[in-house]
A and B are shown apart, each in its own frame.
Chain A
Amino acid sequence: MTTLRPWLLLASALCGVPAGAATLVVDDDSPCPGAGTAGNPYCDIQTAVDAAPASGTTILVKPGTYQECVNAVDPDVKVVALVAEDPDPSATVLDGSLCFGTSTVVLGYGSSIDGFRLTLGDEGAITSFGSVSITNNLVENNAAQSSGGGIFADSGLESYSGPATINIVIEGNTVRNNTSERDGAGIWVSPRSSGTVDAVAVVQNNVVKSNHSSGVGGGIGGITQAGLGSTASLQITQNTVQSNIVDAAPGADTDGFGGGIWVSTSGPGQETITIDHNTVGAPLGSVDNNLRNTAVNNGGGISATVFAVDTAVHAIAMESNVVRRNTASVDGGGIELFVVGDSLTLPGRYSVLISDNDIENNTTADFGGGFLADVGTVNTSSRRNPTDIVGNRINNNFAGWGGGGGEARSFAEGGPRTFCGVSLRHNTVTGNTAESGDPDNPGFAGGFSLFTQADGAGIARIDAAYNTITGNTAEIGGGGIDLAGITSSNAGGNGTTLVEISNSLIENNTGFGVGAPPDPDPPYPGIFRLTLRSSDLSPNTEGPVESTLAAHRVDVCMPASTAAERAFPGIDSDNDVDGQDLLRLATAFASKPGAVHYNPLTDLDDDPDHVVDGSDLAILSASFGDTCP
């Protein structure tokens, strides 16, 4: 026995079922056409939509199977609430097998759909424009040639004339076994904004499973696009995303990204993407590899792109997700992040935060078993475009070439004064492996692979601080950290590259604590400096630091074998704590990762919110005037 929704029963009873009232009733067991009343329901949904006034109608659908195509947009927009009477979505079926070239349901501009099973759609199950609420549906076994095999939700700006904010809500659905020849096989969502219209999309509490895309985003795909002066945001939260696949046609280099989730920013306005509290792949404790998401290119679990140009203000945060047992055939087994900041001038900026995630047991064929963070700026002098990878647990991942735990790349291209920075702090990196089995291209960087390159007057910097990097394995070079590339060993890199490793435990790794390839002979132009500070780099099987780094290395307060020594602060790269250090903390005071004035180098304590606060100031103050012994 199923439980019917009591409020709907009450509404029906009170309605007296006159045609054109606030609630129309549909029952496939009723004789056609019917009148939309409780006593004489319509026999199909489209008839109810056609009969509904422009807005304000609830269409209550009785359990049954409805093999039809429902369109509430053409020729006239009808703002309707499609509600399955039975809360069990399997009881009310919308069969789209006759909807050739169109979605089973097309709606939007304030409409909603709740509680259906939508299946066999030929061009996706649900297509929506403008504000929409898509809740508690079972969306399965649909296909689409375009994006959104299950659900496609777009702002529909071209025909939009509604309120100042478009709200897209996709919540509580199960979306499985859908396919798309393009992007977002399970769910595709594109909050776009323009002029005076903002857009907000929330994808929440859905189960997105076993979908298959041939573009990007095997499970979920999303893109924000804000026009100048407007804002667009996308939040993907508390979803379970498992067993999805993204592949690509041969030679389609931009496809095959994001087995579970793919997102990107794109516009000139203000855009925010948040991916938080999702389970992407196997949950914690599970060893079921069948739950992995798979990408034929990068980002087995999640692939995220920031593309910020000129005055665009873009932010992406990935927080508190479980990203486990995913697979990428190229780079970034768990997470791939690709950032481009091009010609950014105020207010233009980007910020990226990857924080407090469990990134475990992911695999990739080449670089970044746990994650790949590929960050580059072009003609951008501001240092306030942070990429912070903070407080993650990065364990037991595998890379077939470099960066078992993860690879971070910092590129500063163009000049003068272009700056690019990546910060990795407070991460736990254990049990990761870089192994190729190929003696000609041995696996390097069991824990972190750090790659910097700067052109012209550019400065590319990576900071790795307060990390615990233990028990990782590489076949060559750094078992803990390997500097996969340094300026003077990269053709085209003639700027300044800086890597600072501080306040970290790097021990019990197979390989060197910190390693790097040898310089070529003759070297390429450019400056490279490695600063090692207040870290403990032993024991590691091959020694603390590979000899290839001797010419580039500055040691400050090394080694630091006790917690007190590792806590020795200092923010700039000299060997003391003075006014310059305090000044930098002052300008970053009260900030946290993602804030415009956050400076991860000033986050000295280990509080979980990583706010630069009085605790950090106290630590710095306690050492004010100290110098390294």
Chain B
Amino acid sequence: MTMGSAVRLLGVIALAAAATACGGGGGGSSDGGTTGGPQTGSFVPADPTPPPNSVSLQAGTHSGLVVNVNVAVTAVDDFFGTGFRIIYDPTVAQYQSFSSTGSFLRDPPFNASGQLDFRVDASTPGTLSIVATRLQNGQGNATGVDVAGTRTLLTLQFLMLKVSQTSPLTLPGSQREARDSQDTELPLTWQAGIFQVF
């Protein structure tokens, strides 16, 4: 193995495995990030205690440069589903995956396939198009969730690409909505936050 290929391999490992202990100042970013110690990414929500009737982005777990962002819903009655977009700087963060395992939409008896639809499209760099919803039934009587407190709708995982950066995530107002089981749009507050890596 040549030195060059070893360096490239190190870079791949750092990106894919989040470099939890890459240490030693290795793994410097390719476009000018500073180094000097273990790098840690995180997400800072606009409001860590979101108000009732809101959808917000909240900090999930993070490990090294891997940052989880929870899409949270607070105190909403009959929350059936939502479709929205997240805009972020693709030079700062790279979307990795999503998880709906702990979503409140899966509250029984709505935990079977064919009752739910979670989907994230990341084909456009810097834009995530997201849907998380229950599916109505033939009788039209599938219910939404009365969300008490703050609960997680789904979790998005990002990998930070730059260090010593802050970068906002936004939820464009014209491309977000949530609906109740009667297909009425819910009047909600939407809150995002920022990535930071230091």
B117 lies within 8 A of A582 (CB): yes
Closest to B177 in A: A580
A583 lies within 8 A of B129 (CB): no
Report how many residues on chain A are interfacial, defined by Cβ distance under 8 Å: 26
B83 lies within 8 A of A581 (CB): yes
B131 lies within 8 A of A597 (CB): no
- State the Cβ distance, B131 to closest chain A Cβ, in Å: 4
CB contact list, B121-162 vs A, under 8 A: 121, 123-124, 129-138, 140
Q: Given A581-B83, A624-B119, A587–B129 Cβ distance below 8 Å? A: no
A580 lies within 8 A of B175 (CB): yes
Q: Given A581-B83, A625-B124, A625-B129, A588–B137 Cβ distance below 8 Å? A: no
Q: Given A597-B140, A624-B121, A588–B183 Cβ distance below 8 Å? A: yes
The reply on A558 being an interface residue by CB < 8 A is: no
The reply on A596 being an interface residue by CB < 8 A is: yes
B177 lies within 8 A of A583 (CB): yes
B181 lies within 8 A of A587 (CB): yes
Contact pick for A599, options B114, B130, B181, B183, CB 8 Å? B183
Q: Which residues of A contact B84 (CB under 8 A)?
A: 579-580
CB contact list, B24-45 vs A, under 8 A: none
Q: Which residues of B contact A584 (CB under 8 A)?
A: 179, 183
Q: Given A384-B183, A625-B123, A590–B83 Cβ distance below 8 Å? A: no
B179 lies within 8 A of A587 (CB): yes
A583 to B133, CA, bound (A): 7
B136 lies within 8 A of A586 (CB): yes
A589 lies within 8 A of B137 (CB): yes
A579 to B174, CA, bound (A): 12
The reply on B80 being an interface residue by CB < 8 A is: yes
- State the Cβ distance, B152 to closest chain A Cβ, in Å: 17
Contact pick for A583, options B85, B131, B181, B182, CB 8 Å? B131
- State the Cβ distance, A55 to closest chain B Cβ, in Å: 40
The reply on B82 being an interface residue by CB < 8 A is: yes
A597 to B138, CA, bound (A): 9
A586 lies within 8 A of B140 (CB): no
The reply on B50 being an interface residue by CB < 8 A is: no
The reply on B193 being an interface residue by CB < 8 A is: no
Contact pick for A597, options B130, B132, B183, CB 8 Å? B183
- State the Cβ distance, A428 to closest chain B Cβ, in Å: 28
A591 to B182, CA, bound (A): 13
The reply on A621 being an interface residue by CB < 8 A is: yes
The reply on A595 being an interface residue by CB < 8 A is: yes
Q: Which residues of B contact A595 (CB under 8 A)?
A: 138, 140
A578 lies within 8 A of B129 (CB): yes
CB contact list, B96-128 vs A, under 8 A: 114, 117, 119, 121, 123-124
Contact pick for A589, options B83, B121, B136, B179, CB 8 Å? B136
B183 lies within 8 A of A582 (CB): no
Q: Which residues of A contact B114 (CB under 8 A)?
A: 614
B179 lies within 8 A of A583 (CB): yes
A584 to B80, CA, bound (A): 11
CB contact list, A595-618 vs B, under 8 A: 595-597, 599, 614, 617
A244 to B84, CA, bound (A): 56
Closest to B134 in A: A586
- State the Cβ distance, B4 to closest chain A Cβ, in Å: 36
Interface residues, chain A, CB within 8 Å of chain B?
383-384, 574, 576, 578-584, 586-591, 595-597, 599, 614, 617, 621, 624-625
- Given A578-B131, A583-B81, A583-B177, output 7 extra A-B contacts at Cβ < 8 Å: A579-B82, A580-B177, A587-B179, A587-B183, A589-B136, A624-B119, A624-B129
